[in-house]
Amino acid sequence: MVESDVQLFALHILKGINYVHSKKIVHCDIKPANILLKPVKSSSILGCLMPNGFEPKLADFGLALRKTSDEYGDGCGFARGTLLYMAPELLCSGNLDYCADIWSYGCTILEMFTGKKPWSELGRDFLGKCLEKDPQKRYDSMYLLEHKFFASIVGHSY
């Protein structure tokens, strides 16, 4: 995908993640196969011209956990999701938190970029914030929504 299309899809996916996280839910399986493309009647959403008239929607909450649930407990001992998109801390120690979703989101955005070389500096910086190995340093959805990567999208305002 071209970077401008990736930006638009990435923004809408991230807003979905931010909404899910605001409800104290960790999705646990963000990946391209769990992003559905919904046809929209108008090709403009929030003032943004959507590529091919589709809006991405976060789907498949089968592995999701509410952080306030008894099952979640202290967030330790979980290794759930799709291996290729799983955060390092989830694989190594089973620590599950919102930052694991951000890692998976970064992997998803990286997959959208496949074939487009070189990446812009903004794209690299944005992905670096998503794919930071240290979960304490990985950006959360609120900070990512303010990243300059989305600045050129007309009508973007969180």
- pLDDT computed for residue 93 by the predictor: 85
Whether the Cβ atoms of residue 30 and residue 105 lie closer than 8 Å to each other: yes
- pLDDT computed for residue 77 by the predictor: 83
For residue 67, with 0-12 CB atoms within 10 Å meaning exposed, 13-18 middle and 19 or more buried, which class applies? middle
Whether the Cβ atoms of residue 29 and residue 62 lie closer than 8 Å to each other: yes
Total domains in the chain come to 1
| Integer Cα distance of 155 and 150 in angstroms | 10
CATH number at residue 83: 1.10.510.10
Range of the domain at 87: 3-150
- pLDDT computed for residue 124 by the predictor: 80
125 catalytic? Reply is: no
Catalytic residue among 5, 29, 134, 140: 29
| Residues pairing with 65 in the sheet | 26
Does residue 157 belong to any structural domain of this protein? no
Q: For residue 19, which amino acid is it?
A: Y
- pLDDT computed for residue 127 by the predictor: 87
- pLDDT computed for residue 148 by the predictor: 86
Taking 50 as the pLDDT cut, the residues of the chain under it are 115-119
Please provide residue 28's backbone torsions phi and psi, each rounded to the nearest 5 degrees. Answer: 75, -5
- pLDDT computed for residue 78 by the predictor: 82
Does residue 155 belong to any structural domain of this protein? no
Does residue 23 belong to any structural domain of this protein? yes
Indicate yes or no: pTM above 0.85.
no
- pLDDT computed for residue 116 by the predictor: 39
Whether the Cβ atoms of residue 130 and residue 138 lie closer than 8 Å to each other: yes
